[in-house]
Amino acid sequence: GESVGLHLPTLSVQEGDNSIINCAYSNSASDYFIWYKQESGKGPQFIIDIRSNMDKRQGQRVTVLLNKTVKHLSLQIAATQPGDSAVYFCAETPDNYGQNFVFGPGTRLSVLP
């Protein structure tokens, strides 16, 4: 069956360093991938997405990399700031309408001063 998981449940980084959060998925038919950020007491917020026909996509201070060969997704955050402290989820869906997202359990990112 489908599964999406994260390699590390927690990640601590120094302020100013780059952060890399990883995600593995098992459904080779997945077509869309999304990263969400969830701050304490809030709902998930969309960060960036990528389609399966791409291997890299950049946003503001964030980059998502997709390696379909090994079914691996990563989120890179440049110059990590205290405001980046949150739980980060990856999610994937095989369909164009996004009705059947599978979410990973999340990685907690802690930014150290």
Partner 1 sequence: NAGVTQTPKFQVLKTGQSMTLQCAQDMNHNSMYWYRQDPGMGLRLIYYSASEGTTDKGEVPNGYNVSRLNKREFSLRLESAAPSQTSVYFCASRSGDRVDGYTFGSGTRLTVV
CB-nearer residue toward partner 1: 49 or 76? 49
- 82: three-class secondary structure by DSSP: helix
Q: Report the residue from 85, 104, 109, 111 that binds partner 1 according to the rule CB under 8 A.
A: 104
Q: Rounded to an integer, what distance in angstroms lies between the CA atom of residue 83 and that of residue 54? A: 28
Q: Interface with partner 1 includes 78 (CB under 8 A)? A: no
The 3-class secondary structure across 17-30, one letter per residue, is: CCEEEEEEECCCCC
Q: Report the residue from 11, 75, 91, 109 that binds partner 1 according to the rule CB under 8 A.
A: 91
- 84: three-class secondary structure by DSSP: helix
- Residues in contact with partner 1 by CB under 8 A are 4, 9, 32, 34, 41-46, 49, 89, 91, 93, 96-106
